[in-house]
Chain A
Amino acid sequence: MDIERYRSLAEAYGADMSRWPQDQRDPALALHAREPEAAGRILAEAAFLDEALDAWRPPTVSHALRERVLAGAPRPRAALGGRSLGGRFGLWLSGAGLAAACAAGIVVGMAGSSAAISDVRADEMLAAAASEDASTALAPFTVSDRLTLRREA
């Protein structure tokens, strides 16, 4: 390597030789050992620009950006399984609730056809029917309940 090649490398990549092409580093070091003054001046010039460039500080990552990025990140597979299980379970519950609501409608229709059932009792039944817990939703509509409702009517 001659001094001109050394200069062109410093002008392109700067004073830090670890940025220089790998296969040029040893020849550059050898030249530096042979011509320390000239090589030193070249590196000093390049170092000034490196230092100036480093004064341009990188932007900081805002909390909001970090949160937006994390919001889209993949979820653990176990969590995905749990979520889909929850989804299926939730769907089943929704189905049960819907069935219970239908049952409530039928019972109310049967028992309340005489328009004597109280609004309060009907509200209680519908609230229970809408519950996600199918057992509690369906519990009020036993045969004895229907009889009770008929008696109230």
Chain B
Amino acid sequence: MAGGSRQGAGEDPDQDLVARVGRGEPAAVQALVARKLPRMLALARRMLGDAGEAEDVAQEVFVRAWKQAPKWTPGAGKFDTWMHRVALNLCYDRLRRRREQPMAEPPEQVDPSTGAEQGLQDADVSKRVEAAVAALPERQREAVVLCHYQDLTNIEAAALMGVSVEALESLLSRGRRALRAALTDMAPARS
């Protein structure tokens, strides 16, 4: 299997915008922030499970994007993919630091197995899903976040993770299977 999914592998839809950002056009700066900041924040939040750290990562991605935009070479790849790479590397750094220095107070986790009998409200469902995703092994979580939430193609996600498309598919399958098991009690209420 080699085909990409959602976005084609061709032109960068952000190319013109990035060029204008590089020239310092205020409208382009605003547009890039509106287009990418929620995306980078969501990626970091879902990778790290911590709101404050996610904001720090998203801000740092933009610090680097502002430096990169004036020298960005069209055709060298998608700017969105580059931003994802920067964000993921920042997330990896933080996750590695956590492993090396266990935190006194790890981010609050919600037990994904509880709550079915509480008449789930949307916020409860959201928290349960968050907890279930957070409980996945890191690489499975990353695959699910990139493909489902960030809407990247299988080829883009595999390249970012440094694995083959087949390996990505395996990570996705295992991750989604674990999620289905953790959230299976939600099925009747939602069907």
Residues of A near any B CB (own CB < 8 A): 8, 11-14, 18-25, 45-46, 48-53, 55-62, 65-66, 68-70, 72-77, 79-80
Contacts and interface: CB of A to CB of B under 8 A. Distances in A.
Given A24-B3, A69-B33, 16 more contacts: A12-B169, A12-B172, A12-B176, A18-B5, A21-B3, A21-B165, A23-B1, A49-B176, A53-B148, A58-B38, A59-B41, A65-B41, A69-B37, A74-B23, A74-B66, A76-B25
27 contacts: A11-B176, A12-B176, A21-B2, A45-B180, A48-B190, A49-B183, A52-B179, A53-B129, A53-B144, A53-B148, A55-B125, A55-B126, A56-B126, A57-B122, A59-B41, A59-B51, A61-B37, A62-B55, A65-B41, A65-B55, A65-B59, A68-B59, A74-B22, A74-B69, A76-B23, A77-B23, A79-B24
A22 B4 contact: yes
Contacts of A18: 5-6
B16 to A, nearest CB: 16
B141 to A, nearest CB: 12
Contacts of A70: 29-30, 33
Nearest to A46: B176
Interface residues of B, number: 57
A48 B187 contact: yes
B180 to A, nearest CB: 5
Contacts of B179: 49, 52-53
Which 7 residue pairs are nearest across A and B when measured between Cβ atoms? A22-B3, A23-B3, A58-B42, A56-B129, A12-B172, A74-B24, A21-B3
Contacts of A45: 180
Interface of B: 1-6, 21-26, 29-30, 33, 37-38, 41-42, 45-46, 51, 54-55, 58-59, 62-63, 66, 69-70, 122, 125-126, 129-130, 133, 144, 147-149, 151, 154, 165, 169-170, 172-173, 176-177, 179-180, 183, 186-187, 190-191
B55 to A, nearest CB: 5
Contact of A14 (B29, B37, B176): B176
A51 B125 CA distance: 11
